[in-house]
Amino acid sequence: MSDDILFPATDPHRHGMLPVDELHTIYWEECGNPDGIPVLFLHGGPGAGTSPTHRRFFHPDHYRIVLFDQRGAGKSLPLGEYRQNTTQLLISDIEQLRTMLGIDQWLVFGGSWGSTLALAYGETHPERCLGFVLRGIFMCTRKEVDWFVNGMRWFYPEIHQRFAEGVPEDERGDLLQAYVKRLFCDDPAIYTEAARNWSRYEGSCLFLEPQADAIASFESDAVSLGIGRLEAHYMLNGAFMEDDALITNIARIRHLPAVIVQGRYDVICPPVSAWRLHNAWPEAAYHVIQNAGHAAMEPGIAKALVQATEDFRLQRKFS
């Protein structure tokens, strides 16, 4: 994507490791203006972790930018750990981080699984949210999980076939369970290969036009272990929520400003989920990017996300 869409690269002025229980320690960082508008970036996956590029959706002179790697992801420890890892615990981690940083309220920004977590956090703690920037909507319903595991073959049959071939033929009738069996076993050789197969499957479908660098990144052990294990864990458990709970409870945050950005040709998180969210939350601005897939780094999506953060800081609302 064109580098001039995003704000210039910026380095953290504070970062650290926050122990959140006896098993998990999460990495966090703060960039931008310490006196600016607080904003929380929630990465996707679950398990994908943050990257320096994620800091660049926000004007560093005007935003106090907070990023963290969720349990089991990125620089958080232990990598790929799915035990003591639920949506409710992630929400608790966010609150621990907010309290530690002395932030009263913040803008919440999340894409893909990050949109799931943003909605779940907001509906639990609406009083802590200034508003929302949401991209590539995923609410971890049974239909969305089935689409990810099985339905994407209608658009990417050769990629899905390779994914299915990662397990024995007699187990392919239930790919999620077949991968869970391997991802959560105790043999590193088995779970590492399964995680790489799972993560490659997703990475190959991110962009409207496949990006070799993105696929290679998703195949790396540092990324794939978090993505493979944690995505399967959360999908298996319906994100530890009642099915469609995020729509059911949307009234808790409808009074807050929000923008929804959705790629028209997003195969990983098809537009129907964003449309359902907008119908339940008509006050939220809704932007469909016609020439884009799923990834935040699709040029049209990145431009819309930057515009959203600029609209919020200039007007404290979205247009």
The CATH number of residue 33's host domain is 3.40.50.1820
Same domain, 151 and 223: yes
Query: Looking at the domain assignment, is residue 116 inside a domain?
Result: yes
Same domain, 123 and 246: yes
Query: Looking at the domain assignment, is residue 4 inside a domain?
Result: no
3-state secondary structure at position 43 = coil
Same domain, 204 and 73: no
> Average pLDDT for residues 230-257, to the nearest whole number?
98
Residue 297's DSSP bridge partners are none
Query: Looking at the domain assignment, is residue 18 inside a domain?
Result: yes
pLDDT at 48: 96
Same domain, 122 and 19: yes
Last residue of a domain, one of 180, 212, 239: 239
Same domain, 41 and 163: no
Q: What is the spatial distance between Cα 260 and Cα 257, in angstroms, rounded to a whole number?
A: 10
273 among known catalytic residues: no
**Number of structural domains, the chain?**
2
Out of 1-15, 17-31, 158-172, pick the least confident. 1-15
> Average pLDDT for residues 173-199, to the nearest whole number?
97
pLDDT at 3: 76
Quickly list DSSP for 225-255: HHHHHHHHHHHHTGGGS-TTHHHHTGGGTTT
Q: Backbone dihedral region of 72: left (phi > 0), alpha (psi from -120 to 50 degrees) or beta?
A: left
**CA distances (Å), origin 101, targets 29, 118, 221:** 10, 19, 31
Predicted confidence (pLDDT) at residue 131 exceeds the cutoff of 70: yes
Give alpha helix (H) positions in the chain.
Answer: 87-101, 113-124, 142-149, 157-164, 175-183, 188-203, 212-219, 221-236, 245-248, 271-280, 299-315
Structure-block tokens of residue 151: 């339905």
Query: Looking at the domain assignment, is residue 7 inside a domain?
Result: no
Residue (of 239, 234, 117) closest to 180 by Cα position: 234
Which range marks the domain in which residue 86 is found?
14-141+242-315
Same domain, 131 and 207: no
**CA distances (Å), origin 301, targets 56, 267, 273, 281:** 13, 15, 17, 21
Give the angle subtended at the CA of 317 by the CAs of 315 and 318, to the nearest 5°. 110
Its sign, for the CA torsion 278, 57, 115, 316, is negative
Residue 119, classified by CB atoms within 10 Å of its CB into exposed (0-12), middle (13-18) or buried (19+), is buried
Query: Looking at the domain assignment, is residue 3 inside a domain?
Result: no
Last residue of a domain, one of 205, 222, 239: 239
Same domain, 92 and 216: no
Same domain, 51 and 135: yes
Q: Which amino acid is at 298?
A: E
Among the listed residues 69, 93, 266, 278, the single catalytic one is: 266
Cβ atoms within 10 Å, residue 37: 20
DSSP 7: P
Query: Looking at the domain assignment, is residue 223 inside a domain?
Result: yes
Residue (of 140, 110, 122, 127) closest to 234 by Cα position: 140
Q: What is the spatial distance between Cα 255 and Cα 311, in angstroms, rounded to a whole number?
A: 17
Predicted confidence (pLDDT) at residue 282 exceeds the cutoff of 90: yes
Give alpha helix (H) positions in 1-141.
Answer: 87-101, 113-124
Predicted confidence (pLDDT) at residue 1 exceeds the cutoff of 60: no
DSSP 77: B
Q: Is residue 267 within 8 Å of residue 152, measured between CB atoms? A: yes
Mean pLDDT of the chain: 96
Per-residue pLDDT of 55-113, as tens digits, reads 999 999 999 999 999 999 999 999 999 999 999 999 999 999 999 999 999 999 999 99
112 among known catalytic residues: yes
Same domain, 22 and 64: yes
Query: Looking at the domain assignment, is residue 196 inside a domain?
Result: yes
Predicted confidence (pLDDT) at residue 2 exceeds the cutoff of 70: no
Same domain, 86 and 48: yes
SS percent in the chain: helix, strand, coil, step 5: 45, 15, 40
pLDDT at 317: 64
Q: Backbone dihedral region of 233: left (phi > 0), alpha (psi from -120 to 50 degrees) or beta?
A: alpha
Same domain, 38 and 118: yes
Query: Looking at the domain assignment, is residue 9 inside a domain?
Result: no
Same domain, 127 and 161: no
Q: What is the spatial distance between Cα 298 and Cα 209, in angstroms, rounded to a whole number?
A: 9
Last residue of a domain, one of 211, 239, 267: 239
The whole-model pTM stands at 0.96
With bands split at pLDDT 50, 70 and 90, how would you rate the model's confidence at 168?
Answer: very high
199 among known catalytic residues: no
pLDDT at 318: 60
pLDDT at 210: 85
